[in-house]
Amino acid sequence: MENGASDNKDPSGFLSEIIGAPVTVKLNSSVVYKGLLASVDGYMNIALEKTEEYVDGELRRSYGDAFVRGNNVLYIAAD
């Protein structure tokens, strides 16, 4: 399949492949975080490095490191 998709329905393979890559994480609250994916666990808890927080499309804050609790995540996209 194309674009890194596979027949495996478990996203953990994809997520492990993009560790260290730039990602966009959108929360259920519509807040968006962009940064380098440092780690992700089975609960979708996410650690990001060089993180930027966007609210309504505008940059609000920059963080060195950020941790996002998995139950708040709407999606993770590789940039």
User: pLDDT 10s digit of each residue in the chain, 79 long?
Assistant: 455 555 556 777 888 889 999 999 999 999 999 999 999 998 889 999 999 999 999 999 999 999 999 999 999 999 9
The pLDDT, as a whole number, for residue 7 is 57
Read off the pTM. Answer: 0.84
* Region for residue 64 given its phi and psi (left: phi exceeds 0; alpha: psi -120 to 50; beta: otherwise): alpha
The pLDDT, as a whole number, for residue 1 is 45
CA atoms in the 13 A half-sphere facing the CB of 65: 6
